[in-house]
Amino acid sequence: MDARTGADSPATPAESKAPQAINLADYRPPAFQVDQVDLTVDLADRDTRVVARLTVRRARAGATDLTLDGDPAMRLDGVTIDGEPVAETRLTRVAEQLTIADVPERFVLETVTRIDPVDNTRLEGLYKSGGIFCTQCEAEGFRNITFFPDRPDVMARYRVRIEADASAYPVLLSNGNRVEAGTLDGGRHFAVWEDPFPKPSYLFALVAGDLGRLGDSFTTRLGRPVTLNIWAARADLDKCGHAMASLKRAMAWDEQVYGLEYDLDEYNIVAVGDFNMGAMENKSLNVFNTKYVLASPETATDDDYDHIEGVIAHEYFHNWTGNRVTCRDWFQLSLKEGLTVFRDQQFSADMGSAALKRIDDVRVLRSHQFSEDAGPMAHPVRPSSYIEINNFYTTTVYNKGAEVIRMMHTLLGAEGFRRGIDLYFERHDGQAVTCDDFAAAMADAGGVDLGQFKLWYTQAGTPEVHAEGSYDPGAGRYTLTLTQRVPDTPGQTGKAPMHIPVKMALLGPNGQRLDARLAQGEGRADAEGFLLDLREASQQFVFEDVGVRPVASLLRDFSAPVRLTTDQSRDDKLFLLAHDDNAFARWEAGQDLAGDLILGLVADHAAGRALDVDPAFVQAIEQVIADAETDPALVAEIATLPSEVMLGQRMDEVDVDGLFAARQTVRETLGRALAARWQAVYDAASKRLAAGCDAADARQQRRVKNLALGYLGAAGAAGLRLAEAQYDAATTMTDRLAALRVLANADDPARERVLADFYARYEDQPLVIDKWFSIQAVSTRADTVERVAALMDHPAFTLANPNRVRSLVSAFSQLNQVRFHDASGQGYRLLADTVLKVDKLNPQIAARLVGPLGRWRRFDATRRSAMRSELERLVAVSDLSKDVYEIASKSLA
């Protein structure tokens, strides 16, 4: 039988041009539920056969037709209901759906489909990566494997039988526990897996391959032994130790902090080289991008080590926040992602330094999420409409979503928040729920009203908060006036004021916290100052018993994801930089000062004036680095200038060249004026490292040493020689890459030598070669556009591997503001050409490349029109994916 009617013809241009938006307001519970899924997957490269037996139950009164999702490229070989073939007249297959008319109330549906995993360059559904069969089903990849109601509120138990060639695929994995295995005729074998927990289809996973295993175990606090396995190419097994240690720390932490224990006997992680995202939390069978598993000191930087620890923890934490309680629909994505990002941030803060982690997270939020919020794709943490859900795995849903959870944590306090989490699981374990359900558990457990607070889920855009302070010495009274404004975003105007928690303190002349009394305005005193509730467009907070003129330390720990401006003077900011006892606020004061300085120089540059760097700033940085021995990592964070991308956000129109020139001038001035200081910092850290120090100290020393190297490199030739020597002598990737970065930006004879050396050394290590591409893509040299274009023809470059595309093209277009926005428009053309080529292979990755072009409104007329015309070129393409279409068309709107 053949039910392929209408399914094989490729989408017509008309169809692909006007893809349908899906709206939250249209949500309806499923008409049918599936209780049990029995899959038999017979693996073969070009022709994998999938038999699916679904136990189906009517869930909506009066429903007669069962509609299943299914990729048009799948071949449907047969459909039976309760063992009887279904007449073709009852089957309708249109685009992505198969409808079966007149089904009974309860029945067993069996379908046979055939798919081609080798041809699957989209890397969604079942595909092959480096000889390994693996799956990626979130969000809607399961429909590429078999016909199914592929939505997260359909939760079933799965039993999966995998059959494959025994010598090519000795390891066969799926979710849950392995209940059976054996050999078959013709050199084949099989394994059967059963997952006792009902789950949505997006958490299904299957892996088959010739994989090496790093095994370990963990005993839960109730004494349950858990087998832990990391599966990777055999040659990479010696790089899995850090991931394993991170996993065990995450398991212990979730028990201690949230009382959440692992719930199966086995936990598997598989590392694959071709992966659209970072990793995936499939129940008991996480599939990971190798980037977030493999590490050795020679091949991974200190930052890579942190990212691995964070992502391993993130996917593990999903077992409760995502898997045990999942999302009702994809609009609720932040229910699991915002919460799980918050949890992984908390975990990393506990594993290292909370202040450094916060600085890092805020930097990511500002550089990525704030620009998204200010651009054409701005959307609320809970979006209300989408064309392609893969386009909504965004920094808004993830990182701003995590900030929303963090604010609830701030408002309720750690204990109240924990009670809220307990109540959430008490109410919803085993269910598919909404962000409202989460907020209700928090409000009920914390005894707080989150009514206004929930606007954070529905109003897009970064709120702007302005603070003005005034001191009345006679009355000993300090008055703080806070005003807020939420900017318009596409489809949203005239927004209501938000509930914004503002952590603050009043500091006296020596930096001591003043014991003032909050006499007017909603808020409370806490151990570190005050927590104010800003709820209105404009609000006054009056503090009494303030004996001396205070300096306000505001938005400590970045207590809300807002843009804050103040009436504070340069001297107030210098004071906070020198004295604030909140490490985050101290860093922030430094960033703010650097920003004011650089933007002032941009104006000088535009007016043709000389660029003179304020000596007070140089002196302040000199004072900061005097502490390099006591707090090396924080010093390094403070002495790192804000990026051009972040500085550009503070301008009405981004002055690309002026920003570059101004920032470079400040770097060079700091490098030259403080050269002796940097050298001393460099030498002290090198000495400490040579003497041997513990791992945590060593990475802090490397951090500050490489910061100093960067400044010395900016200062002149001596620094470049130091970088060359460091490159050659390096024993860690952190040191080698830092030195390479300095030389890659320079006009220096050593440049080509070290780049060639780096390539030759690591030729057989894809993740390191990614770094080689990136470092050239972010080079500040004027010839970078041409260089990037040439690298796209390098034999090691391929559009088929997402990591490789990101390493060159995303690094260039997202991080290298001055060279990507080269006035020639070459960068834009290169990006659009790449989008079109990648779109043929992998629409999800192609769509993620478009972002930088969407920022066209922020630039001058020449660049604006060059960027626009590239977007227009994209939307004019007839067979564009809906992924790219959505981003490009919304960018033009």
C-alpha 4/C-alpha 98 separation (Å) is 9
Q: Which is nearer to ligand ARG, 205 or 443 (CB)?
A: 205
Q: Which is nearer to Zn ion, 243 or 874 (CB)?
A: 243
Report in angstroms how near the CB of residue 339 gets to ligand ARG at its nearest.
11
139, interface contact from ligand ARG, Zn ion, none, CB < 5-8 Å by kind: ligand ARG
What is the binding site for Zn ion (CB under 5 A)?
337, 340
Q: Are strands 464-472 and 563-566 parallel, antiparallel or unpaired?
A: parallel
601, interface contact from Zn ion, ligand ARG, none, CB < 5-8 Å by kind: none
592, interface contact from ligand ARG, Zn ion, none, CB < 5-8 Å by kind: none
Quick one: tokens of 806? 């990101």
Tell me how far the alpha carbon of residue 310 is from its chain's centroid.
11
Q: Which whole-number Å values give the CA distances from 238 to 472, 515, 736, in the listed order?
A: 65, 55, 21
Report in angstroms how near the CB of residue 175 gets to ligand ARG at its nearest.
15
Return the CA Rg of the chain: 28
280, interface contact from Zn ion, ligand ARG, none, CB < 5-8 Å by kind: ligand ARG
Quick one: tokens of 731? 């024993």
Quick one: tokens of 801? 């591997």
State the burial class of residue 27 (Cβ atoms within 10 Å of its Cβ: 0-12, 13-18, 19+): middle
C-alpha 458/C-alpha 462 separation (Å) is 12
Pick the stretch among 72-80, 206-214, 274-282, 784-792 that binds ligand ARG (CB under 6 A): 274-282
Contact criterion met (CB below 8 Å) for 294 and 239: yes
148 - beta bridge partners?
Answer: 69
Report in angstroms how near the CB of residue 317 gets to Zn ion at its nearest.
8
Report in angstroms how near the CB of residue 593 gets to ligand ARG at its nearest.
36
Is 280 near ligand ARG (CB under 6 A)? yes
C-alpha 362/C-alpha 558 separation (Å) is 8
State the burial class of residue 178 (Cβ atoms within 10 Å of its Cβ: 0-12, 13-18, 19+): middle
315 assigned to active site: yes
Q: Which is nearer to ligand ARG, 337 or 360 (CB)?
A: 337
Report in angstroms how near the CB of residue 838 gets to ligand ARG at its nearest.
15
User: Which of the residues 110, 140, 315, 337 is marked catalytic?
Assistant: 315
Is 236 near ligand ARG (CB under 6 A)? no
Is 432 near ligand ARG (CB under 6 A)? no
Pick the stretch among 272-280, 412-420, 691-699, 702-710 that binds ligand ARG (CB under 6 A): 272-280
Is 69 near ligand ARG (CB under 6 A)? no
Pick the stretch among 210-218, 314-322, 529-537, 856-864 that binds ligand ARG (CB under 6 A): 314-322
Q: Are strands 385-386 and 529-534 parallel, antiparallel or unpaired?
A: unpaired
C-alpha 20/C-alpha 676 separation (Å) is 62
Q: Which is nearer to ligand ARG, 304 or 870 (CB)?
A: 304
The residue within the footprint of ligand ARG, chosen from 38, 163, 195, 281 (CB under 6 A), is 281
In degrees, rounded to 5, the angle at the alpha carbon of residue 571 between the alpha carbons of residues 567 and 575 is 105
Q: Are strands 106-115 and 188-200 parallel, antiparallel or unpaired?
A: unpaired
Pick the stretch among 72-80, 276-284, 300-308, 765-773 that binds ligand ARG (CB under 6 A): 276-284
Considering only residues 31 to 50 of the shown chain, the ones binding ligand ARG according to CB under 6 A are none
Is 277 near ligand ARG (CB under 6 A)? yes
The residue within the footprint of ligand ARG, chosen from 150, 302, 309, 315 (CB under 6 A), is 315
Is 139 near ligand ARG (CB under 6 A)? yes
C-alpha 789/C-alpha 811 separation (Å) is 13
138, interface contact from Zn ion, ligand ARG, none, CB < 5-8 Å by kind: ligand ARG
Is 883 near ligand ARG (CB under 6 A)? no
Report in angstroms how near the CB of residue 335 gets to ligand ARG at its nearest.
12
Is 393 near ligand ARG (CB under 6 A)? yes
Considering only residues 332 to 391 of the shown chain, the ones binding ligand ARG according to CB under 6 A are 337, 390
Other Cβ atoms closer than 10 A to 318: 25
Other Cβ atoms closer than 10 A to 665: 19
The residue within the footprint of ligand ARG, chosen from 38, 69, 71, 138 (CB under 6 A), is 138
Q: Which is nearer to Zn ion, 326 or 559 (CB)?
A: 326
Q: Which is nearer to ligand ARG, 594 or 887 (CB)?
A: 887
Q: Are strands 385-386 and 266-272 parallel, antiparallel or unpaired?
A: unpaired
319-338 footprint of ligand ARG as x/- string (CB under 6 A): ------------------x-
Report in angstroms how near the CB of residue 123 gets to Zn ion at its nearest.
17
Name every residue whose Cβ is closer than 8 Å to that of residue 652 and which is 6 or more positions away in sequence.
none
Name every residue whose Cβ is closer than 8 Å to that of residue 676 and which is 6 or more positions away in sequence.
none
Report in angstroms how near the CB of residue 141 gets to ligand ARG at its nearest.
7
- For the chain, the distance separating the N- and C-terminal CA atoms, rounded to the nearest angstrom, is 46
Q: Which is nearer to ligand ARG, 281 or 839 (CB)?
A: 281
173 - beta bridge partners?
Answer: 207
Other Cβ atoms closer than 10 A to 731: 10
Pick the stretch among 175-183, 273-281, 405-413, 532-540 that binds ligand ARG (CB under 6 A): 273-281
C-alpha 682/C-alpha 354 separation (Å) is 25
Other Cβ atoms closer than 10 A to 83: 8
State the burial class of residue 878 (Cβ atoms within 10 Å of its Cβ: 0-12, 13-18, 19+): exposed
Write the DSSP string, 400-411: IHHHHHHHHHHH
Considering only residues 643 to 662 of the shown chain, the ones binding ligand ARG according to CB under 6 A are none
Q: Which is nearer to Zn ion, 343 or 358 (CB)?
A: 343
Question: Which residue bears the tokens 């260089």?
Answer: 787
Q: Nearest CA to 123 among 845, 770, 766?
A: 845
Question: Half-sphere exposure (CA, 13 Å, Cβ side) for 419?
Answer: 12
Pick the stretch among 165-173, 275-283, 562-570, 787-795 that binds ligand ARG (CB under 6 A): 275-283
Q: Which is nearer to Zn ion, 302 or 337 (CB)?
A: 337
Q: Which is nearer to Zn ion, 193 or 292 (CB)?
A: 292
- Return the residue nearest ligand ARG (CB atom): 393
Full strand arrangement of the beta sheet holding 206-209:
125-129, 132-136, 206-209, 171-174
The enclosing H or E element of 289 equals strand 285-289
Q: Which is nearer to ligand ARG, 391 or 701 (CB)?
A: 391
533, interface contact from ligand ARG, Zn ion, none, CB < 5-8 Å by kind: none
552, interface contact from Zn ion, ligand ARG, none, CB < 5-8 Å by kind: none
Interface residue list for ligand ARG (CB under 6 A): 138-139, 277, 279-281, 314-315, 318, 337, 390, 393
Which residues belong to the active site? 315
